[in-house]
């Protein structure tokens, strides 16, 4: 089973709201990722977690706060977002996140379509 | 720094025709190459990957890709396209620290019935 699940599928929030996106995988993967994807563009990496520790933050604004409660779960907490943050947010996982140049294939979830009003 | 170029933004083919999507990469060492497909509003699905070995790799849904080191290319092919293949296709190179993927800008495939 190569499934990554994400909830909710759609989310509409105001600029003063606090909400969370959730991601789950049961493949025993030890690396998980958050991406942001705008329309007609490739995904942009936001965060990488390796063995439940944040290993890469691609200079993401602090209004996005990731959390990895355990090896199967990844959350993205949202607060005081801007309309330009409206996008498809994708979660992915891989067996590992190597830092010596090797690559592992990443498996993506279906995404959460976020609209900030 | 690694980079990926997908020269074709849009491609239209007739159902049943053959397909080739182009991908060129820039990478210092032996690259780890991927093709992903994304249907509208969906996540990315891995079609195939190349790490080493046989330069012709087979993937899911009848797709294949050929790695050509001399041309720095990893083109995706399918002998007979189905209407359900209409989607966005992304080529990506991996191996960056933290398993980072560098994506191309994507090719939008339209299939005419």
- The whole-number mean pLDDT for each consecutive block of 10 residues of chain A, a chain of 117 residues, reads 90 94 96 96 96 95 97 96 97 90 92 96
Please name every residue paired with A53 in a beta bridge, in sequence order, or none if there are none.
Answer: A50
A104 contacts in chain B (CB < 8 Å): 94, 99
**B36 vs B4: CA distance, rounded Å:** 13
Instruction: Quote the minimal CA–CA distance from B31 to chain A in Å.
Output: 9
Residue-averaged pLDDT of chain B: 94
- In angstroms, the CA A78 to CA A18 distance is 6
Q: Taking a contact as any Cβ pair under 8 Å apart, which residues of chain B between 46 and 65 contact chain A? A: 46, 49, 51
Q: What pLDDT score does B30 carry?
A: 74
Above 90 in pLDDT, residue B1? no
**What does the longest C-alpha to C-alpha distance in chain B come to?**
43
**Cis status, amide bond into B48, omega within 30 of 0:** no
pLDDT of residue B7: 97
Q: Report the C-alpha gap between B43 and A88 in whole angstroms.
A: 9
Chain B residue at shortest CA distance from A99: B97
Residues B50-74: tens digit of each pLDDT: 998 899 999 999 999 999 999 999 9
- Give tens-digit pLDDT for B4-51: 999 999 999 999 999 999 999 998 777 899 999 999 888 999 999 999
pLDDT at residue A1 in the model = 61
Please report the pLDDT score of residue A50 as a whole number: 94
Nearest to A110 among B42, B100, B103 (CB): B42
Pairwise CA distance, residues B25 & B73, whole Å: 6
Helix (H/G/I), strand (E/B), else coil: B69: helix
């Amino acid at each position: 089973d190569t499934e990554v699940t994400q909830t909710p599928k759609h989310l509409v929030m105001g600029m003063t709201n606090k909400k969370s996106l959730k991601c789950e995988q049961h493949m025993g993967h030890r690396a998980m990722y958050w991406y942001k994807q705008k329309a007609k563009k490739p995904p942009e990496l936001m965060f990488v977690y390796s063995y439940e520790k944040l290993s890469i933050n691609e200079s993401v604004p602090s209004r996005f706060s990731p959390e990895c409660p355990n090896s199967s779960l990844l959350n993205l907490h949202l607060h005081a977002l801007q309309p330009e943050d409206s996008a498809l947010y994708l979660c992915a996982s891989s067996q590992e996140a190597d830092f010596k140049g090797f690559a592992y294939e990443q498996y993506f979830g279906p995404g959460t379509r976020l609209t900030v009003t | 720094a690694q980079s990926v170029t997908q020269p074709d933004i849009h491609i239209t083919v007739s159902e049943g025709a053959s397909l080739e999507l182009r991908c060129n990469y820039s990478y210092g060492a032996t690259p780890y190459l991927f093709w992903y497909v994304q249907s509208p509003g969906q996540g990315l699905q891995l079609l195939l990957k190349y790490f080493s070995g046989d330069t012709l790799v087979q993937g899911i849904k009848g797709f294949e890709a050929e790695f050509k080191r001399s041309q720095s290319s990893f083109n995706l092919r399918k002998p007979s396209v189905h209407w359900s293949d209409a989607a966005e296709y992304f080529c990506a190179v991996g191996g960056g620290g933290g398993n980072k993927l560098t994506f191309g800008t994507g090719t939008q495939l339209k299939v005419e019935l």
